[in-house]
Amino acid sequence: MAMIDDSALKAAIGAANIPGASVALIDRDGTTYSRAFGHADIAAETPMREDTVVQIASMTKAITSIAAMQLVEAGRLSLDAPIGDVLPELAAPEVLTGFADDGTPQSRPATRPITLRHLLTHTAGFGYPFIHPDILRWFAPKGLPPGNWKAGIRMPLMFDPGDRWEYSVATDWAGQVVEAVSGQNLQDYFIEHITGPLGMGATRFRASDEMPQGAAKVHVRTPEGSLSPVGMHIQGGDFFSGGGGLSSTAPDYARFVRMLLNGGTLDGVRIVSPATIADMTRNQVAPLRAGYMGSAMPEFAPPYDAIPDQHTGWGLGFLINPQAGPNGRSPGSQHWAGIFNSYYWFDPAKGVGGVFMSQLAPFGDSGALAAFGALERMAYA
CB 194 within 8 A of CB 271: yes
- Which one-letter DSSP state was computed for residue 130? T
End-to-end CA distance of the chain: 15
Range of the domain at 87: 7-380
273 is catalytic: no
What backbone phi and psi angles, to 5 degrees, belong to 225?
Answer: 100, -5
Let me know if residue 74 belongs to a domain.
Answer: yes
| pLDDT confidence tier of residue 32, bands split at 50, 70 and 90 | very high
Let me know if residue 239 belongs to a domain.
Answer: yes
Peptide bond preceding 287 in cis form (omega within 30 of 0): yes
CA distance 60 to 205: 10
pLDDT in tens, 165-180: 999 999 999 999 999 9
Which among 58, 65, 247, 358 is annotated as catalytic?
A: 58
Produce one character per residue of 307-344: b if its CB has 16 or more CB atoms within 10 Å, e if not.
beebebbbbbbbbbbeeebeebbbebbbbbbbbbbbbb
CATH number of the domain to which 206 belongs: 3.40.710.10
Distances (CA, A) of 175 to 60, 116, 190, 318, 343: 10, 11, 10, 16, 21
| pLDDT confidence tier of residue 301, bands split at 50, 70 and 90 | very high
Let me know if residue 249 belongs to a domain.
Answer: yes
Let me know if residue 236 belongs to a domain.
Answer: yes
pLDDT in tens, 186-209: 999 999 999 999 999 999 999 999
| pLDDT confidence tier of residue 2, bands split at 50, 70 and 90 | low
10 is catalytic: no
Let me know if residue 29 belongs to a domain.
Answer: yes
pLDDT above 70 covers what percent of the chain?
A: 99
CA distance 353 to 345: 5
pLDDT above 90 covers what percent of the chain?
A: 94
> Is the pLDDT assigned to residue 156 strictly greater than 70?
yes
61 is catalytic: yes
Let me know if residue 119 belongs to a domain.
Answer: yes
Let me know if residue 43 belongs to a domain.
Answer: yes
| pLDDT confidence tier of residue 151, bands split at 50, 70 and 90 | very high
> Is the pLDDT assigned to residue 25 strictly greater than 90?
yes
pLDDT in tens, 68-113: 999 999 999 999 999 999 999 999 999 999 999 999 999 999 999 9
Which among 22, 33, 128, 167 is annotated as catalytic?
A: 167
What backbone phi and psi angles, to 5 degrees, belong to 161?
Answer: -50, 130
Helix axes 170-182, 60-73, angle to 10 degrees: 40
pLDDT in tens, 267-300: 999 999 999 999 999 999 999 999 999 999 999 9
Which among 61, 217, 304, 343 is annotated as catalytic?
A: 61
List the 20-27 sheet strands across, edge first.
46-47, 30-41, 20-27, 352-357, 342-347, 333-338, 319-321, 313-314
Peptide bond preceding 362 in cis form (omega within 30 of 0): yes
Is the pTM for the entire model greater than 0.95?
A: yes
> Is the pLDDT assigned to residue 326 strictly greater than 80?
yes
Total domain count, the chain? 1
